[in-house]
Amino acid sequence: MIIQLEKDIDKAFVDQIVDKLKSLGIKVTPVNTQQGNYLIGISGKGFDIREVGGLEGVRDVHRVSDDYKLVSKKWKVKPTEVDLGDGATIESGGLAIMTGPCSIESEEQVDSMIQHLVKNGVKIMRGGVYKPRSSPYSFRGLGIEGLKMWHEKAKANGIKIITEVMQVSQIEPMLPYVDIFQVGARNTQNFNLLDELGKVDKPVVIKRGISGTIDELLHSAEYVFSGGNEKLILCERGIRTYEKATRNTLDLNAIPVLKEKTHLPVISDPSHGIGIRKFVEPMALASIMAGADGIIYESHEVPQKAFSDGQQTLNYPDSDKLIKKMQATYALRKSLDLE
Ligand code: PEP
Ligand code: MN
């Protein structure tokens, strides 16, 4: 159960409501986010909703049977819209395009990538400055200095930055230079990181864990939301299965399933999802038809020379073509009235 409280509710009224809930045998957790105040009630047995609904300071009471509550679609009338400013939004039923290299490598690269984005009307640039690598001897990113350089150039061009944060201590130094924090697949269940991201006033993309279920992804989002941050986006990026022909198995099923379960926007990452350059395009287009609210994919001026993930990265001409095809696919989806 979610008890939505009035925004400026007096502490005395909150205490009264909590006491009432406890007397009904309901376990209560208060949640205060940047946008609202809630009490999450867990109860084994049913009760008459009017016993709580009429109390002073209660805005609304929602019965949510799912284990995750605040990210559930069952209570929120309007889906979550993440507005980054400068016309960049990520919202249910939209098509947010994000592209850039796997790793930010140099100033020259950032310049040329920004040109590529501006030319195509793409507003969000991806890139890692802290890279989770399987081998400690691989390139691990330019770090905070690289992020500052990137931010300066992106800001000058109205481009928003999405980049991965790998640990709690990185959040604060990164905060002024980031528009969206990305939680990588290896950190989906790093609950300390999720708790801390609940405290920041910046949107967060949570990628699905490498072997994570849909339910686990939703629970990870519940951590950030209940920690205080409602600006959340979920990302299907492929899971590890027994299949060896591709890097991962992009779980297209997850897109409509997540859209049914949550009010959060759902995006797809076909680059990591399949891991093979020439199949990024069909998987991006399939993701859009499956209902994705955005696509994040890797591109690079010379993919063969990329410091990481070159095998799944598009060059500029292919990226140009993909953007046009994604827009056409999105228009087709809308015309078919699939959502
Ligand atoms: C990335 O986006 O480059 C990345 C490392 O993603 P993931 O966490 O999905 O592997
Ligand atoms: Mn990558």
CATH value at residue 101 = 3.20.20.70
Same domain, 268 and 310: yes
Whether 300 is in the pocket of ligand 1, judged by its Cβ within 6 Å, is: no
The first and second tokens of residue 277, run together, are 């350059």
3-class secondary structure, 79: coil
Expressed in angstroms and rounded, the spacing between residue 103 Cα and the centre of ligand 1 is 10
Cα 195-125-179 angle, rounded to 5 deg = 35
Q: What is the pTM of this model?
A: 0.97
Same domain, 192 and 255: yes
Whether 123 is in the pocket of ligand 1, judged by its Cβ within 6 Å, is: no
Same domain, 298 and 206: yes
Q: Distance between CA 89 and CA 164 in Å, rounded?
A: 19
The number of the ligand 1 atom at minimal distance from the alpha carbon of 128 is 3
Whether 102 is in the pocket of ligand 1, judged by its Cβ within 6 Å, is: yes
Residues 95, 294 contacting (CB under 8 angstroms)? yes
- Write out the H or E segment, with its range, that includes residue 11: helix 11-23
Enclosing domain of residue 101: 81-335
Q: What is the DSSP letter of 180?
A: E
Q: 316-336 and 277-289 helices cross at what angle (nearest 10)?
A: 20
Whether 132 is in the pocket of ligand 1, judged by its Cβ within 6 Å, is: yes
Q: Distance between CA 157 and CA 177 in Å, rounded?
A: 14
HSE, side-chain direction, 13 A CA sphere, residue 317: 1
73 in a domain, yes or no?
Answer: no
Looking at residue 49, its pLDDT comes to: 85
Same domain, 236 and 300: yes
Same domain, 122 and 213: yes
Expressed in angstroms and rounded, the spacing between residue 104 Cα and the centre of ligand 1 is 13
Residues 77, 65 contacting (CB under 8 angstroms)? no
Expressed in angstroms and rounded, the spacing between residue 308 Cα and the centre of ligand 2 is 6
What φ, ψ does residue 334 adopt, rounded to 5°?
A: -65, -40
38 beta partners: 4, 31
74 in a domain, yes or no?
Answer: no
The rounded Cα 296 to chain-centroid distance in angstroms is 11
Whether 41 is in the pocket of ligand 1, judged by its Cβ within 6 Å, is: no
Q: In sequence order, what DSSP letters do the residues of 203-241 get, joined into one string? A: -EEEEPPTT--HHHHHHHHHHHHHTT---EEEEE--B--
Q: Distance between CA 226 and CA 221 in Å, rounded?
A: 9
Q: Distance between CA 141 and CA 132 in Å, rounded?
A: 9
Looking at residue 44, its pLDDT comes to: 74
Same domain, 58 and 86: no
Same domain, 98 and 41: no
Same domain, 169 and 39: no
76 in a domain, yes or no?
Answer: no
188 in a domain, yes or no?
Answer: yes
What φ, ψ does residue 90 adopt, rounded to 5°?
A: -125, 115
75 in a domain, yes or no?
Answer: no
Closest ligand to residue 182's CA = 1
Same domain, 256 and 109: yes
Same domain, 223 and 94: yes
The first and second tokens of residue 44, run together, are 């084994």
The first and second tokens of residue 135, run together, are 């081998």
Same domain, 48 and 91: no
The number of the ligand 1 atom at minimal distance from the alpha carbon of 272 is 9
Q: Which of 249, 272, 296 for mutating ligand 1's site (highest number of atoms within 8 Å of CB)? A: 272
Q: Distance between CA 273 and CA 210 in Å, rounded?
A: 10
- Domain of 9, CATH number, reads 3.30.70
The first and second tokens of residue 116, run together, are 């590529």
Per-residue pLDDT of the chain (339 residues; tens, 9 = 90+): 999 999 999 999 999 999 999 999 999 999 999 999 999 999 877 778 888 999 999 999 999 999 999 999 999 989 999 999 999 999 999 999 999 999 999 999 999 999 999 999 999 999 999 999 999 999 999 999 999 999 999 999 999 999 999 999 999 999 999 999 999 999 999 999 999 999 999 999 999 999 999 999 999 999 999 999 999 999 999 999 999 999 999 999 999 999 999 999 999 999 999 999 999 999 999 999 999 999 999 999 999 999 999 999 999 999 999 999 999 999 999 999 876
Q: Distance between CA 100 and CA 161 in Å, rounded?
A: 10
The number of the ligand 1 atom at minimal distance from the alpha carbon of 238 is 9
70 in a domain, yes or no?
Answer: no
The number of the ligand 1 atom at minimal distance from the alpha carbon of 132 is 5
HSE, side-chain direction, 13 A CA sphere, residue 169: 1
Q: Distance between CA 297 and CA 270 in Å, rounded?
A: 6
72 in a domain, yes or no?
Answer: no
Whether 272 is in the pocket of ligand 1, judged by its Cβ within 6 Å, is: yes
154 beta partners: none
Q: Which of 98, 99, 102, 104 for mutating ligand 1's site (highest number of atoms within 8 Å of CB)? A: 102
Same domain, 259 and 327: yes
**What total number of domains does the chain contain?**
2
Q: Distance between CA 6 and CA 251 in Å, rounded?
A: 39
